[in-house]
Amino acid sequence: MEYDTIIVEKSDKVGKIVLNRPEVLNAMTTKLVDELTKAVKDLAGDSEVRVVVLTGAGRAFSSGADLKEGFSGTRNEPGSGAEEIRQELQTAQVISYTLHSMEKPTIALVNGVAAGGGMDWALSCDMRIGCERTRFMSAYIRIGAFSGLGGTWLLPRLVGIPKAAELLFTGDFLDAEEAYRLGLLNKLVPSEKLQEEGMALARKIALGPPIAIKLTKMLIYKGLHMEFQTALQMAAACETITLTSEDRNEGVKAFLEKRPPQFKGR
């Protein structure tokens, strides 16, 4: 499918989405949200794709809502268009939820500023790689708005409540070095190597066993809400599935034969 505001590429079992409005720092419009919603859903359901990567064109990941064209909560008159705003927000929330909950690992390559909804989308991914240009900002508070795309749920789980509260209450920037120190970024690399390093990580994961990776992602997140004993019971069930899979047999065989395994997801 052809898109106007994003680019979708597939190679080596990796699906890559590029937010493609660089002239306005990849600010989100209703059209971009609609196209991105379709793209993430398509990649989530594509059996040939094992990892999904999200990044931005130019010098930004996404600056958030396009205040000139208008999107979700940016209209001038208080109380006007409330139902339309709610529906637009719920559509954009599908992106956050799909990135976070799809069975496949998701990686954000944060090539510049990630503000407002752009920050929320980056946080929705399982992993984030940044460069010296990377900056996060939950900008909502600066215009009297609320973090409507998941930031208030995601950020405390990633950096802890005190730091999340500070960032959400002030709308201050979080630079790349501190984001890496806090663990918000998995890697911090030179900007000229960001895409190379990010895609190398994606391809490495894509070569892994899909069943085991799917179950691992599931239990990482579900385990946050379980008692340890329950998590152990779930782990035993997941391990039983992997130990009876063709991929496990292939993994053992490849190890003994000293060759790279060829996992099929069976």
170-220 pLDDT, tens digit each: 999 999 999 999 999 999 999 999 999 999 999 999 999 999 999 999 999
Q: What pLDDT, on the 0 to 100 scale, is given for residue 60? A: 97
Superfamily for domain range 6-206: 2-enoyl-CoA Hydratase; Chain A, domain 1 (3.90.226.10)
Strands 14-19 and 6-11, how do they pair? antiparallel
Phi/psi at 132 (nearest 5 deg)? -65, -20
Mean pLDDT on 24-46 = 95
> For residue 27, which of 61, 72, 4 has the smallest C-alpha distance?
61
SS3 107: strand
Would the pLDDT of 46 be above 90?
yes
Residue 123 is encoded by which pair of tokens? 């946080």
Sequence-ordered list of residues with C-beta below 8 angstroms from that of 52, at least 6 positions apart, any chain: 14, 15, 16, 17, 40, 43, 44, 99, 102, 104, 105, 106, 107
Other CB atoms within a 10 A radius of the CB of residue 88 amount to: 20
Sequence-ordered list of residues with C-beta below 8 angstroms from that of 148, at least 6 positions apart, any chain: 72, 73, 89, 92, 93, 117, 140
Residue 106 is encoded by which pair of tokens? 């998701």
Mean pLDDT on 230-241 = 94
Phi/psi at 21 (nearest 5 deg)? -130, 60
Would the pLDDT of 83 be above 80?
no
Mean pLDDT on 78-90 = 72
Name the segment(s) of the chain with CATH classification 1.10.12: 210-256
Name the segment(s) of the chain with CATH classification 3.90.226.10: 6-206
Q: How far apart are CA 104 and CA 82, in angstroms?
A: 34
Would the pLDDT of 71 be above 90?
no
Residue 74 is encoded by which pair of tokens? 């940016």
SS3 50: coil
Would the pLDDT of 167 be above 50?
yes
Q: What pLDDT, on the 0 to 100 scale, is given for residue 73? A: 46
Would you say how long the chain is, in residues? Answer: 266
Measured at the CA of 38, the angle between CA 33 and CA 39, to 5 degrees, comes to 95
The amino acid that residue 10 corresponds to is K
Highest-confidence segment of 65-69, 103-107, 247-251: 103-107
CATH for the 210-256 domain, from 1.10.3470, 1.10.10, 1.10.1660, 1.10.12: 1.10.12
Q: What pLDDT, on the 0 to 100 scale, is given for residue 77? A: 52
SS3 29: coil
Q: What pLDDT, on the 0 to 100 scale, is given for residue 64? A: 87
